[in-house]
Chain A
Amino acid sequence: MTGTVPEQDAETIRRILAGEKHLFHELIRPCERSIYFLLFSLLKNEADAEDAAQETVIKVYTNLHLFRGDSQFRTWVLSIARNEGLGRLRKLSTRREDSLDAETDEQTGDYTPAILTSWREIPADELERKELGEILRAAIERLPENYRNVVVLRDIEEMDIRETAAALGISEGSVKVRLHRARAMLQKELAPQLKAFAPKRKGFLWGRA
């Protein structure tokens, strides 16, 4: 994926701070997606997420001299993005249904998965994929915020557990528990719907709501 070597980042940062400012474009580019999707998962709105993403990137630029290099650059950037997103949420103080930083992960949480045996194939067809994308995005948006953030970083942006934990300011154990629950919720909700995509069959009929 976005294979930025830490030493390379450190060197680029040094050069930017020494005056080669234009290099900032290249430094931030591999982080763009993660910034946006993390913010989108918090703010649930494209325009707000984009605005917050721009604000985040400008903060990263103006605070670049504060980056200590004891974490990966992207982790640092994402913690700035997260603060930006949380700050905006607090300001709006809407959507308090999920407590933002609660660590309520300790109990195992029973769940019963959707039991089905006919959905094994991943659809490859372009149209199916598009519709499937909509179903997936909607399901992820419905996850509780704490779970959604973890799914975004871990499964959408494919960050490892350590980096995800650092970016969200939670323990690795919490990442694992939340991820497990989130995936279980997604499986339970999505598997029955996605079953419609299973056989190579055109004209599936799930979109009636």
Chain B
Amino acid sequence: MRIDCKHVWEHISAYIDGEVDPVLRAEIDRHLETCEICSAVLDSTRNIVVLVADDRVFELPAGFSKRLHERIDEEINKPDPPLDSSSAEST
């Protein structure tokens, strides 16, 4: 089976994730050896995946963590709710 470019594009994401079966993978690899276009598409897609995963690209807002943990402290330091005092909450 010879696969064409379109077929390769359909599997690029799975290929990057290592999710294509070995037979298809070999077909794609063979195609990539001779197809400049598909190997460029693969490289650019993979680059995007790599960049997106970079923690420096997506950073939490400054002070986010500090504010979050202060909020948690507020909650933690609340007095415990009375556990089985007269169950008046269903009103």
Interface residues of A (CB under 8 A from B): 21-22, 24-25, 28-29, 32-33, 36-37, 46, 50, 53-54, 57-58, 61-62, 108, 110-120, 122, 129, 132-133, 136-137, 140, 151, 155-156, 158, 161, 176, 179-180, 183-184, 186-187, 190-191, 194
A22 adjacent to B44 (CB under 8 Å): no
Closest to A134 in B: B57
Tell me the interface secondary structure of chain B in the complex: helix
Interface residue count on the B side (C-beta < 8 Å): 38
Give B46 Cβ to nearest chain A Cβ, in Å: 9
With A122-B50, A155-B49, A156-B53: A24-B72 Cβ-Cβ less than 8 Å: yes
Interface residues of B (CB under 8 A from A): 6, 9-10, 12-14, 16-17, 19, 36-37, 40-41, 43-45, 47-54, 56-58, 60-61, 64-65, 67-69, 71-72, 75-76
With A61-B75, A155-B52: A114-B44 Cβ-Cβ less than 8 Å: yes
CA distance A114 to B41 in the complex (A): 7
CA distance A32 to B36 in the complex (A): 41
- Considering residues A28, A33, A46, A187, which has the most beta carbons from chain B within 10 angstroms of its beta carbon? A187
